[in-house]
Amino acid sequence: MTHDPRPLAILLLGPTAAGKTDTAIALHERFGCELISVDSAMVYRGMDIGTAKPSAEELARAPHRLIDIRDPAESYSAAEFCRDAHAAMAEITARGRTPLLVGGTMMYAKRLVEGVATLPQAAPELRQRLEVQAERDGLEALHARLRSVDPVAAATMHANNRQRLIRALEVFELTGVPISEHWREQHRENFPYRLLSIALAPSERAVLHQRIGERFDTMLDAGFLDEVAALKRRGDLHGDLPSMRSVGYRQAWEALDGAFEMGELRERGAAATRQLAKRQLTWLRRWPGLHWVDSSAAEAGEHVAKIVREVGS
């Protein structure tokens, strides 16, 4: 076997509530890996309970980079994540340590490994016009329009994903080329790391669904609704921001707006989280060279450690 001189990087992915944080902390303490969060919601300050962000005690034991780096009023793109993650990985490997990227935002992980498509910068006037169209005609109308010009891209995004819909239409209008074509032709950088990819997930869907329900209950007991209410009281946030569209936060915001009875929040939030987990698992099944570990098994942690020791050496 040809020796690969590139430094090792470990990617620990999995659906929500699979146990990734505990496993990552254990790997940090066992092998000295340094952790980088791959989570599009944990980047936001003040969004702690609903993101299942590692506690202050856990972060003291195992610091995570790319947590609490943005205000919820700001956006954070996959391109920005790639820039920040590559910088963190370079700093970690320069000190002879191994970067361990842990999370469930699959788009971030994919863009990190494959590179980011070269796309035109946002055009404020065009963006504003598309925003007005979204308000006037509704997101379903925008999604229908995207299906007509770029069915490939439309199939990858939900009709309620305002940010991605508008961006896809914006790119098409600016370039005359569907954004899916840009994705296909994107420059794939030579990933400068020897990548070990591990997926952590219960082998039985029912087990994952039970964990999701239990975790949402724990969040509610910990004051999740109060957390969202405090964000709402700031006055500069709204339900269409990327931060507030995060799973759980969207449902809590709507409940506080009176969109449905407060007693429905638990089931609506858990259902949305189950759908998120389903999408995450769909991504993972297409991920090349993935080492699957059953996180519900008693020896799951040892299994992950064995893969890191044997495959990563």
Predicted pLDDT of residue 117: 63
Domains of the chain: 8-116+187-311 (3.40.50.300), 124-185 (1.10.20.140)
pLDDT grade for 1, boundaries at 50, 70 and 90: very low
The pLDDT of 194-220, averaged and rounded, is 97
Report which of 33, 30, 10, 183 is spatially closest to residue 103, judged by C-alpha positions.
10
Q: Which of 178-192, 193-207, 270-284 has the lowest mean pLDDT?
A: 178-192
Residues forming a β-bridge with 8: 194
Residue for token pair 């993935």: 290
Predicted pLDDT of residue 147: 93
pLDDT grade for 23, boundaries at 50, 70 and 90: very high
pLDDT tens per residue across span 249-282: 999 999 999 999 999 999 999 999 999 999 999 9
* Three-class SS state of 100: strand
Q: Where are the alpha helices (DSSP H) in the chain?
A: 20-31, 56-61, 78-94, 106-114, 124-137, 139-149, 151-154, 162-175, 179-185, 205-221, 224-233, 249-256, 265-285, 300-311
pLDDT at position 190 over 80: no
pLDDT tens per residue across span 25-45: 999 999 999 999 999 999 999
Which helix (H) or strand (E) covers residue 10, if one does?
strand 8-13
The pLDDT of 209-226, averaged and rounded, is 97
Residue 137 CA to residue 92 CA, distance in Å, equals 48
pLDDT grade for 186, boundaries at 50, 70 and 90: low
Six-digit token pair at 179? 């954004």
Predicted pLDDT of residue 2: 59
Angle value at C-alpha 209, between 205 and 212, nearest 5 degrees: 140
- The overall average pLDDT reported for the chain is 92
Are the beta carbons of 81 and 106 closer than 8 angstroms? no
Q: Which of 138-142, 215-219, 224-228, 295-299 has the lowest mean pLDDT?
A: 138-142
* Three-class SS state of 268: helix
pLDDT at position 235 over 90: yes
Predicted pLDDT of residue 157: 83
